[in-house]
Amino acid sequence: MWLCLCVLLSGCGEPGEVAAGEETYNRYCFSCHAAGLAGAPKTGIADMWAPRLAKGREVLLATTIEGIAPGMPPRGLCQECTDAQLNDAIGFMLSAKP
């Protein structure tokens, strides 16, 4: 039972990192990326992310910082997020279960 919970939360291995990305995601990215609003690649759907990921993680971070008009706002609306926090949030979206 506890083992299950632990696996579900997937925070056991590296708590800090996983939690950081998830928190940023839940606060700023979730609203568009959970539902795929305005064509946003959906969280955890590997097929939707594959062509974007093919550009490389650095490029994804760069486009996140700059935004992609008109759908994706610069920094995903989190003006106070550091680049590292944004990168963690991207990592969460790539790895999370939908």
- Site residues, ligand HEC (CB under 6 A): 24, 28-29, 31-33, 37-41, 52, 60, 63-64, 68, 71-73, 76-78, 86, 89-90
Contact 24, 78 (CB under 8 A): yes
- Cβ atoms of 12 and 3 closer than 8 Å: no
Q: Quote the least distance from Cβ 33 to ligand HEC, whole Å.
A: 6
Q: Which is nearer to ligand HEC, 6 or 88 (CB)?
A: 88
Least spacing, CB of residue 7 vs ligand HEC, in Å: 25
CB burial of residue 95 (10 Å; 0-12, 13-18, 19+): middle
Q: Nearest approach, Cβ of 9 to ligand HEC (angstroms)?
A: 21
Alpha-carbon distance of 67 to 53, in angstroms, equals: 16
